[in-house]
Structure 1
């Protein structure tokens, strides 16, 4: 009994550290973008997304290479994707007008790339025993890497063109800014190291709790570990909402889902027992399918841009996201 309390304490402590330092990472990342002149849209879509997804990256590598628990890594990735989309519902509940009527419809581009990557991952899981491997990795892993690079390039070019159309320009930073930049990068590196250390131990405590409670790695990782590693996204998104930067918040969440698929490929690289897609439970296919449906709902919301909320504090699209999230968690718990 004492052991379970120790693991719960360790898991909670790691989660708290990730929340604190993860939010600091985002703050310093925003400062770096401000000093160097990077566009806010690019910041949310790519830079901020990769920063706030650092816990998922380190947790996944730790899960597959140290404790040999690929289901924890996969559950964390897919659960994080669902949790990121759930945060959209949280943001929607905190404003008067529907969320997707207040942000740029160009976010659909990010959603499309996310759906493409998720579909490839789903195919890789389903056909894992029928597709050739390259070294110990699935050949689909290299396809994931290639599409991720294309998506980053495509989103960057699209955002740069959008900035030029709107007349926004990036100014060169001064000597004073260069001195400030060195200080900010130092603080960024410090908190990145703290997040790495906390994320390394998170799957260890998570696996022990899952074993002791009988919840199972797939459910525990998809719900609790994913929520813990996605808390930086939640903190950053709420902060962005308070600053009136809804596009940055939405871009961060949707961009994080794209980066999560890239992380899954990295997990396959570090999992030396064979392809990670052959080692994880087929149960995760449901999570992949639901994330695709949730993403499609987001795309529809961005396309139709409803002007009024239909269900209490939620618009119909964000309410559907909540229903899908609850459905998956109940299914994983019962199976």
Structure 2
């Protein structure tokens, strides 16, 4: 009892001293409970606020500064823009060179090469369907990576099958396509060119699917590989067999020679892009430590097809209407005959 009274008078003395020195702005409240003999034997409560955090603790937040990407890296805006610009410019450059080389062989067949463009215009309806939905669906970063890769596999399978069906239809309807898009003066001689160019539906559908899907995965280097391999092979082979400095053979080159070279190089570009994309997927699986099997990633599923078809249906309908009007105008212009060929 004496100890408790001594502690109370000590607390009262400290509070009074603090009040005299001006430490209290108002009332000094001393909410002190007396120390019992059972509490005196307990260990002191550690002050967690005053403890220092162990630097080696696994719960400590460490701020690691990531290295800045290179200026021309595909992860930067400038690098991605440059890669896409080159990928689009290379085919346009080749189309210009083709017309120059064909005009050196037979200027009347320059108009025949336009049938390749019109066939691709029909295929564009297919390419602006599901592939256009890739930016919205496959590019959705909230989806897990295995799900996005399965969407890519489903898109590739659909485009290859649909492109193959269109190519077979175009081969069977080659005389009708020539009648619609080739002037009458060179129509009969152009049927073979149209048949060969009909296989561009398959290569165009496959390359478009690979290009748009990989751009949605932030890999614009894959479309660049396709365009680079395709255009480089075209220019080299055309320079050897079609240009002014071509290798002279027993049979002179014809417009069908150019069509065969183009189809072979288009197929080469598709295969190069597909092989490179498989390599990229392997690196992504290793980097993200994905446990899913190849079958889970590449085997197409109905759910993935529906996920792409719903937004892709709108762009496909719009493309069908737009390209139908364009081809209707082209058909009327082709009916001008030699005037169109001269132009």
TM range (shorter): 0.3 to 0.5
Between Structure 1 and Structure 2, whose CA radius of gyration is higher? 2
Structure (1 or 2) with the greater helix fraction: 1
**Which structure exhibits the higher relative contact order, with contacts defined as CA atoms closer than 8 Å and separated by 6 or more residues?**
1
Question: Which TM-score applies when normalising by structure 2?
Answer: 0.33
